[in-house]
Structure 1
Amino acid sequence: MCRALGAAACLLAIHTAALADDPLWARSQALLLKNKGLVAQNIATKLDTGGFLSTGEGGYETVLQRFDITGRPVRGAKDEATENNPDYKASKLDMALANHFANNPEHLFENASGVTRLADQQVNGETLAVFDVRAEHVLKRTLPVAMRVWVKPDSGAPVKADGMMEVPAPFGPRAPFKVRYTTDSAGRTLPAQVWLEYDYLTTTRNHIKFDHTLSNWKPRP
């Protein structure tokens, strides 16, 4: 079989088979899949635009307002005061990363592939399994994502994901991000916080940071 496929294709086939057989990664993805149909109603955001947009450090909160005709959640300012808050203008720069996790808690990103298990690591006194993952973040265009995911070896529950997105101009060229998971009272493992930072290039280089807290999870109607 390898002779027919060629060496490179053979190695890819072997890697894919090994990935599919990794019970911990499969358990982790199955655990997240139980979140399908849940949506975070609220996203509270702290931001630091470094003076860009004349906001500096600030914050705003968005809420789920409705679902469009395709079933996609539509979010907006929590209230009129937020709508008029100059900080809220920065929401258009957050790359919808928090929205992705608030709307899709059942997976990390689209088309996760190239998953490789690394050596276990100690995190806050706890031994966690570590996976290196390649995936895609679909915004207005597909953005390549490389990340590492830390998973509890007993339950498969994800604890955190740290990664980097390749982003188009005027952003970037790369945007580091972090996701932190928590287990709620119902035993569901859900994304709780999302951090994102990157450079925004205009006539000057501006460094922008977002800190999102996701909450109030409810089933889709």
Structure 2
Amino acid sequence: MNTLDEIIHLAGAYGLVLRGGFCVNEDDNVPEIAEGVNASSLILFGNAGSSFWECFSGSREAADGQTDPLNRWSQRVGEIIASKLTGRALFPFGGPPYHPFINWAKKAESLQSSRIGMLIHPQYGLWHAYRFAIALPDSLADSLVVSAAITRVRQPQAIDHDICQRCIGQPCLSACPVGAFSDSGYAVEACYSFLKQNAESSCRTETCQARLSCPQGHAFHYQADHARFHMEAFFHSVANRLDK
């Protein structure tokens, strides 16, 4: 099996970060690598801040004018890396059914659910994402990709407190101009209505102001064009669902 440094190098060639991994059990619902070949471990890849943006924005997928450029780029890159690791690439899109990426992410890293619903990381805050996972036939415990080594890459280690509970004032709950976030959940229709009627607002031209107000992971804020890309993708996705 490839060493940890080789896997990190493979990811880094595309601006991606090794986001952790774990030994698989039946409850993880990881599909077979091939017929009759069960997965023994799973490793996750994604971005921390805008780490991958330069590579993606200069890709053929970003330039071809077709739909879902980031998903198509992720699929191409994921399959390249999976082939080099003799594993199977799995993606958070392409369903239903969808793979349980949130559960996988929580098992692989120190994550909590934030007050606005997104997973918050003790170092990256709300400025991170998972692009794909790779199921491997080898056990992490039997390879150089062990938890201690992965922890060295994705510091800090497990957190023993509620990040949001310790946040003074919890500004994410008051920064939204329509109060779309509360203990009751996320009011997506109120959010979308505001974005639709206020195309020049900072929420639409920059990024979600609730997310931006979170003090955790400030150094990993997405760069402007990266943030706008995701906001436009979100807006059009919701528009397709609500404006039918």
Structure having the higher strand fraction is: 1
Structure having the higher helix fraction is: 2
Higher relative contact order (CA 8 A, sep 6+): 2
Task: Please indicate, yes or no, whether the TM-score normalized by the shorter chain is above 0.5.
Answer: no
